[in-house]
Amino acid sequence: MKKALHTIAALSCAVSLAVGLSACSRDPDTRLAVDKDGKTVVERYGQLQVIGPNLCDQAGNPVQLRGMSSHALQWHGKYANKQVLQWLRDDWNCQLWRAALYLTEGGYITAPYLKEKVVESIKAGIDLGMYIIVDWHVHRDQDPNVYKEQSLEFFREMAQTYGSYPNVIYEICNEPNGKQVTWSGQIKPYAEEIIAEIRKYDPDNIIVVGTPTWSQDVDEAAKDPIQGQKNIMYTLHFYAGSHGKELMAKAETAMQKGLAIFVTEWGTTLNTGDQFFPDKTMPWLSFMKKHHISWANWSVNNKGEDSGILVFNADREGKGNWKESDLSKSGQFMRKVLRNELKIK
């Protein structure tokens, strides 16, 4: 049985926000972090499950979770704390947080203490009633098998310690990439091993599996999906300035074949993190709403890149409570999206 959800008293500002936002949506899925009765998204949705191509709540209703991703925890881990997550929940209406544990570039493989930032994120999510994506951020290492033994150890510990909480979502390989890294040859066999290890300790929380070409080729995974496991989803990543209808078509092909898709990372910019494209972002937001595809936007950082939600050097101490002047153009846009202040058709 899942451990009892931590009951928290939602701040009055969060309740007021929920009352105001609930009137903005005619969709039965209100997409609220905290509803007008003060119930968090985890209290309302509970144990997530996959039914066909849909992520569903414990009652079997399709839902769309929305929230923010951290940047690399070794560089911007100061934002992976309860104070920032509570601000994102109460002011931004974020239902989820993604903790991006890079493996290389100064990440977990050479700095294993970074695991504590993931743990801090999970504990904050449990307290705040948010869903937390635990992101094993395969990136420049390309092939998830390079650090498979470390992955098995890491996810074993996460599942043993936190698998009894419905808040946890496992993302087991962020962006496999490289011509030599194929779905059936490298990614699927890796995923099957990691899934089997997680399922020894956590039989039902959602597991999201990366797909080839920086998690764009979901159609390739659809040709040879993972069998014999429940509550498995597949990763699609896009950057609105670089990716459009061709990638949407891949997603539709995969969903038509029964794959459940989770956009664990996406940006309002080019895939380089440069140039803000609100006009190209809106079709993607409509596409994800139409198909009830859950998402995490990239990312919470103050390095000055266009895809970051904070302007250069804003909130250097990681405390939240951001003013509009702290937010980049993308940050201002994403806050409106998450608060349901922009109409998504």
- The span from the first CA to the last CA of the chain, in angstroms, equals 39
Contact of 140 with 214, CB cutoff 8 Å: no
CA–CA–CA angle 94, 97, 101 (5° rounding): 160
SS3 content of the chain, % helix, strand, coil (to 5): 40, 20, 45
Catalytic residues, by residue number, are: 175, 265
- Check residue 148 and give its pLDDT: 98
In what helix (H) or strand (E) does residue 96 lie, and over which residues does it extend? strand 96-102
Tracing tokens 């664990």 back to the chain, one arrives at: 264
Cα 195 to Cα 136, 170, 228, 284, distances in angstroms: 13, 9, 11, 30
- Check residue 27 and give its pLDDT: 54
Tracing tokens 């929380």 back to the chain, one arrives at: 205
For 281-307, letters b (16+ CB in 10 Å) and e give bbebbebbbebbbbbbbbbbbbeebbb
- Tens digits of residue pLDDT in 297-309: 999 999 999 999 9
- Check residue 20 and give its pLDDT: 39
Task: Write out residues in the chain with pLDDT < 50, as ranges.
Answer: 1-26
- Check residue 21 and give its pLDDT: 41
Q: Which amino acid is at 174?
A: N
- Check residue 18 and give its pLDDT: 43
Tokens of 40: 């968090």
What are the residue ranges spanned by the domains of the chain?
12-338
Contact of 108 with 102, CB cutoff 8 Å: yes
What secondary structure letter does DSSP report for 325? G
Quickly count: other Cβ atoms within 10 Å of residue 157's Cβ.
13
Helices H / strands E in the chain, number of each: 12, 10
Tell me which fold the domain 12-338 belongs to.
TIM Barrel (3.20.20)
Using a 10 angstrom Cβ sphere, with 0-12 exposed, 13-18 middle and 19 or more buried, the burial of residue 120 is middle
- Check residue 30 and give its pLDDT: 82
- Tens digits of residue pLDDT in 55-93: 999 999 999 999 999 999 999 999 999 999 999 999 999
Contact of 233 with 265, CB cutoff 8 Å: no
What is the pTM assigned to this prediction? 0.92
Mean pLDDT of the residues in the chain: 93
CA–CA–CA angle 9, 15, 20 (5° rounding): 170
Contact of 317 with 78, CB cutoff 8 Å: yes
